[in-house]
Amino acid sequence: MRRAIDTLFGRLVVIVIGMLVLSHVAWFAIIRFERDNVQTRFAVEEAVFLVEAVRQHIANTPDQPLPPRVRLVAPDSPDVPRQPDENMPPPLQRFVEDLKDRLPDGTDVRLSEPGGPPSVWVHGAKDTGWVVVPVQPLRPPRSRDRMLVWLALIFSTAVLAALCGAWQLQYPLRSLAQAVARFGRGQPTPPVPERGPRELRQLTHGFNQMVREVSQTENDRAVMLAGVAHDLKTPLARLRLRAEMMDDAKMRDGVVRDVDSMAHIVDQFLVFAHDRPDGSEPVPVDEQCERIARAYRAVAPGAQPVRLNLEAGPAFALPAATLDRLLSNLLDNAHAYGAPPVVIETRRDAKGWVLSVSDHGKGIAPDDLIKASRPFVRLDPARGGSGHSGLGLAIVERLARRAGGECEIGNRAGGGLEVAMTFPFDIATRPVAERRAGPQHEERAL
C-alpha cells in the first residue's frame, strides 16, 4: 500500500510544516515573554515617574489639589495594604522588585488589595505618608489574542509557499523516476526535460544520454538481426524448393526439416528485431486463449490437450498480434522442453491482470532462471533442441514489457516452469492510436 509519507513530496511537506510549527511556537513564546517584560518595565517607569511627580508636587505646591486617583494616606491608616506574600503571581513579584530597585533604599512598596482599582503604595524614609498612585494592569483581560491570529495567518502563508516550493523541487525528480521505471521495463523512454537544481539537471542530462546510447545500440543490433534474417529468407526458400525436388524421400524429409528449423530461427530473429509498438485491435484474452488452444490441438494432433483456467473475464484485453505471439512462443516452449499438461491461466489480482502458461516438466535450475530470458541463451542440455535460437522467452519478455506489463519466470511448487505476465488494469483502455504512435506520441504527452 502506497503512503504519502513515502514520497519525496510527502517528506518535504512533513519537514517544512514541522520546522514552521517549531519556529512559530518558539517565536510566539519569545514574543509573549518579551512583551510581558516590556509591559512590566513600562509599568515600573510609569509608577516611578508618578511617585516622583507627587513628591515634587507636595514639596513645591502643597496647597494645590492632587490629580485624580493620586492621594496621600497616613502611615497608620487602616486602608494600608498588607505586606506582599510569597504566593503573589510572578509578574507582580517582578514588578515590586523592579520598582524597589528604581526607588531609594529603604522604600516600602505594596500593591492595592484585589478587587479595587490597581494602584501601588509607596512609603520612603522622607515621606510623611503613603503615596498612592495608579498603575496599569500588567495583564489586561483580552477577548482574543491578536498575536495568535497574525501568527496563524503568517503560518498559513508560509506553508502554502513552502508547499509550492517543495512541489517545484520534487516534480523534475518525479519525472525522472517515472522515466527510469519505463526504461527499466523496456518501454519507449522519451527525453526527460532538464530542469530543477543544477545537480538534478546534471543527473537528468546523464540519464538522457544513457538512454540515447542504449537505444542506438539496440537499434543497431535490431537492424543487423533484421538484415541478416531478411537476407536468409530468399536462399532458404530456394533451398527448400530444391529439397522438394529430391528423389530420395528420406533425405528430402531431413533437408526439409532442417530448412524449416532454419526458417523458424529466422522468424524468431525478425520478431526479436521488430521494435515497433503493436497497433492491432485489443481482443478479450480469455476468448483468444480458447481459440489458440483449439488451433494448437488442430495443428499438433499428437500433443496433449491444453488445459484452460480462465477467470479474468472480458475486461482483460490485449492487442491481438501481441497476444498471439506470446501464447504461441510459450506453448511451443512448454511442449518442446516441458511435459504435459500445459495450463493457460488468467486471473485478476491486486497488481493487475495476470496471464500465465505453465507445464509439468522438470523446470529450470534455480541458477539458470536469471539467464532464461536472455537473448540467444540456450540452457542445454536440459532445455536444448534443434531449430531453436534461444529467443523464445526473450521475445515473450520483450513483448510483455512493450505492452506495459511485467514478465516473471519461475518454477512451480509441484514441478515445471511457469511464465506469469502481469498487465495494469488500464491496458485495454489505451487507444489504438496511442499504441501505434509509439515513442513520439508518448514524448508529446509528457
Where a domain ends, among 79, 102, 134? 134
The full DSSP string for 350-407 is SSSEEEEEE-SS----GGGGGGTTSTT---TTTT--TT--S-HHHHHHHHHHHTT-EE
- The answer as to whether 310 is a domain residue is yes
Q: Which of 78, 104, 134 is the last residue of a domain?
A: 134
Q: Is 327 within the bounds of a domain?
A: yes
Residue 377 forms part of a structural domain: yes
Q: Would you say 72 and 129 are in contact if contact means Cβ atoms under 8 Å apart?
A: yes
In a domain, 343, yes or no: yes
Grid coordinates representing 174 are 518525479
DSSP H or E run through 110: strand 108-111
User: What domain range includes position 422?
Assistant: 278-445
Q: Which pLDDT belongs to residue 354? A: 92
Position 439 confidence tier, pLDDT thresholds 50, 70, 90: very low
* Residue 406, phi then psi, degrees to nearest 5: -125, 145
Q: Is residue 272 part of a domain?
A: no
Residue 271 within a domain: no
Q: Is residue 290 situated within a structural domain? A: yes
Q: Is the pLDDT of residue 128 over 80?
A: yes
Residue 8 included in any domain? yes
7-62 per-position pLDDT tens digit = 767 777 788 788 888 887 887 778 777 777 777 888 888 888 888 888 888 888 87
User: pLDDT, tens digit, for every residue of 322-375?
Assistant: 888 888 888 888 887 888 888 999 998 888 899 999 988 888 877 666 656 565
Number of structural domains found in the chain: 2
Domain boundary among 134, 163, 182: 134
HSE toward the beta carbon, residue 101, CA cutoff 13 A: 9
Residue 261 reports pLDDT greater than 80: no
Quick one: average pLDDT of 115-140? Answer: 80
pTM, two decimal places: 0.46
